Structure 1
Amino acid sequence: MKTLALHNLKGGVGKTAAAVNLAYLAAANDVRTLLWDLDPQGAASWYFHGEPQDCTAKDLLRGPPSTISRLVVPSPYRQLDLVPADFSYRYLDILLRKIEPPRAALQRLLKPFAGQYRLAVLDCPPSLSHLADNVFSAADLVAVPVVPTFLSLRALEQVQAYFQQEGFDAKKLRPFYSMADRRRSLHRELLERPPRAMARAFKAVIPYAAMVERMGERRAPMAVYAPSEDPALLAYAELWLEVSAALAL
């Protein structure tokens, strides 16, 4: 099983939309997929109509690794299951610090799924924390959505510096442009002349689009309701092809 994390230090950059759409596209391409919503806000869970099960973060970490298997619920879509978020996940950062070895708890929790799924997608809260350390250790690929603005690029640079400082494998970290609006001169400039921080970026550019925002109205991935020629849907499809190639799926 390969593990893909969607992470950004900054919120509001299209992270959850990417996690939901990539998980759906993986499943639609016959890759049995598990989406684990690690963000206590539970946006990815809400898109997939997933309700948290009767198990808190404390129960999850204190019980045997198999405990997590009873948290899995089916999504409305074939080949795609969900571990819904729970509000107790706001304590995950504190609880994970009590596990030894300190950065391997999440990897341990994912292990029981290795025989059932080909891909695990982690939708992560926006932070650099002990939970993030566990994500960076467990993930085969960390995809970072970046809005073409200086503040969003600064957040990416902070994550890149953190990887170097903490000894994580920098090859895992792959940014991509998200919520790009070519009508804005700054967006165009950063798209046409990408800064050094975007050197290893995926080529797909997710546009700022009303069709993406309608995911909240439809509570569904874009491919369920958007026309097949929609530019944003095509951009997510291109991103999926790049991600699947990077993960050798």
Structure 2
Amino acid sequence: MSAPARSVPPETATAAMAATRARRPRRAAAPRPHRNPVVLTTLSIVAGIGIWWLLAILGFRLPTPIEVITRAGELIVDGTLIGDLGASLARVLTGFLLGTLVAIPVGFLMGWYTWARGLIEPWIQFFRTIPPLAIIPLAIVLLGIGEEPKILVIFLAAFFACVISTFQGVVNVDRTLINAARVLGAKDGAIFIRVAVPASVPFILVGMRVGLGASWATLVAAELIAAQAGLGYRMQQAQLYYDLPTIFVGLIVIGIFGLIMDRLLLLAERKLTGWQERR
């Protein structure tokens, strides 16, 4: 015969339940998103312009926003700003797209094959420590003073940022996913396409955003190479005549278009990585 069940006093049961609840880990409260990001962004822009205007009024050697807007209008009317913007955009987009298109397969190759990593990674790590601007003298000697050396230094800035990020994306693929695919009978090619590539997309897009910023940062120096048009060229010419409004116009236009392109990449990241779990 089984032993008779022992009755548990209500006080003991209540205490046990309370202790069990106390031992359970509590979920961290999710951060509450801002309800009015547009309002906050607008306030930030207005505050920034106000600080700029105040510094100009207080005697810091800065043009006022009105002077900059007036100068931008003049450059737009005579076609100078449109021509410079078109030349700079062509250089940045060409160098950035070429750098990205080369970096992604090289990064996949390094991350997926050990032999490729051993052969290529030391050279990548060596050359990425050399600033692209240091390549300018060599680029002029080898390629002349046309568009090729300008695009080359922008290409290098985008390439090294994207190749490292792509490589890290492949290396950091969850081994559990790869092993599960092997258990289900998938071959290496299928695992690479169905597992490694999707898992690396967030890393690739982050590398593209970093590479885009590096491309714009390299633009002004790239246009030192005997350019006849471009935002960087115009800013350098304005420096000779102490034309601060023109310099500010170039800085603001580069910032605006760089921000627009970065937001487009961020939008693509959200669309392409919507399958990921968001925390």
Query: Would you say same fold, with TM above 0.5?
Result: no
| Pairwise TM-score range, normalised by the shorter structure | under 0.3
**TM, length-normalised to structure 1:** 0.23
Choose between structure 1 and 2: higher helix proportion: 2
